[in-house]
Amino acid sequence: MKNTFKYLLCAGVAFVLAACAPNELSKPDMGSLPNISSIQYTVEQGDEPYRYIFDVKTPGVVGIWDFGESGGVVTGNHVVMDMPFSGAQTASLKVYGKGGVSADSVEIPFTVEQGNLSIPGTPGYFLTQLGAWVWDKDTQGHIGNGASNATAPQWWNAGANELKDAGCYDDIMHFYDTGAYLLEAHGDVAVNERAAIEYAHVSEAPGGTTKYPYVEPTAPQRWSLSGTSLKITNGGFPSYVLPEWATLTYTVLVLNETTLQICAPNTKDGNNRFFFRFIHPAE
């Protein structure tokens, strides 16, 4: 009798479990992934020259907007953004619906009439609104070089105050929110040996970094920042003269409330890049 009861109990449990097993036919229809090519959206300028409004018009989905360095990722179908940078911009749009997030994105170009670099937390704000920049001369590695794919100095990693006789530690860099740039040099600037012939018009390149009188460009200097690419035009440079300094693009490695760290290729010396680290002057 006991055995018969056990068999009946097992059979009953098996029946209940089978009845509760998932049935493919009973799953709710989650729908397919949204097709980004069918999504309708608009981009319009707001009530300020730097303010833009991004709307997703297609019902049943929610927009995922990626503004990169200008504002990061924002979710919503009505997004109002204050853009820090002037000129041509691109926003990337994905959407999600019942079926999940769209597999593809659409790139949306637009042009900002006048950026607002005073927006807290943005790269332009850090560069322009918190004061001027000087060499972080007390920190090892404030200048140095390494391989073209390096992210920090490798071969030359200058120690604290190592360039005290190179004429650069009293330089002050100003990035203005108007886009103007000024190097406040006090007589001399540091010049890389590969740039000396072109910059200082000497007949023979010296060994190592040498100081030469600062030659201020005749045209007003300008700066621009796109993503991590920093340019200083009209002959400007960030205190240290590298070969082909007038056409270099600097890569921003660190930019925050306290530190600006950049690097640039040494175009006259093969597989090589230089690193520079700056801070705000002590009060």
Q: Domain residue spans in the chain?
A: 36-112, 123-279
Determine the average pLDDT of the residues in 235-262. Answer: 92
Q: Is a pLDDT exceeding 70 seen at residue 182?
A: yes
Q: Is a pLDDT exceeding 50 seen at residue 19?
A: no
| 36-112 and 123-279 in the same fold | no
Give me the residue label for tokens 């391989």: 147
Does the CA dihedral 157-129-84-86 come out positive or negative? negative
* Of 5-9, 174-178, 203-207, highest mean pLDDT: 174-178
Determine the average pLDDT of the residues in 108-136. Answer: 89
CATH code for 36-112? 2.60.40.10
CA-to-CA distance for 158 and 110, rounded, in angstroms?
Answer: 43
Specify the pLDDT at position 31. Answer: 64
pLDDT tens column, 72-105: 899 999 999 998 888 888 999 999 998 899 999 9
Specify the pLDDT at position 86. Answer: 81
Comparing 282 with 95, the larger pLDDT belongs to: 95
User: Does residue 37 sit in helix, strand or coil?
Assistant: helix
User: Does residue 54 sit in helix, strand or coil?
Assistant: strand
CA-to-CA distance for 77 and 62, rounded, in angstroms?
Answer: 6
Pair of tokens at residue 147: 């391989």
CA-to-CA distance for 283 and 279, rounded, in angstroms?
Answer: 12
Architecture label for domain 123-279: Beta Barrel (2.40)
Q: Is a pLDDT exceeding 60 seen at residue 225?
A: yes
Comparing 33 with 127, the larger pLDDT belongs to: 127
Side-chain-side CA neighbours of residue 134 (13 Å): 17
Determine the average pLDDT of the residues in 251-273. Answer: 89
CA-to-CA distance for 135 and 167, rounded, in angstroms?
Answer: 11
Give me the residue label for tokens 């709307």: 55
Range in 42-56, 95-109, 169-183, 194-208 with the lowest mean pLDDT: 194-208
Q: Are 251 and 226 in contact (CB under 8 A)?
A: no
Q: Is a pLDDT exceeding 80 seen at residue 224?
A: yes
Specify the pLDDT at position 30. Answer: 52
pTM check: above 0.95: no
Whole-number Cα distances in Å, 176 to 53, 202, 226: 27, 33, 16
Specify the pLDDT at position 282. Answer: 77
Comparing 215 with 26, the larger pLDDT belongs to: 215
CA-to-CA distance for 46 and 135, rounded, in angstroms?
Answer: 40
CA-to-CA distance for 115 and 87, rounded, in angstroms?
Answer: 8
Q: What is the mean pLDDT of the chain?
A: 84
CA-to-CA distance for 189 and 186, rounded, in angstroms?
Answer: 8
Strand pairing category for 188-191 and 240-241: parallel
Determine the average pLDDT of the residues in 171-198. Answer: 90
Specify the pLDDT at position 242. Answer: 92
Percent of the chain with pLDDT over 70: 86
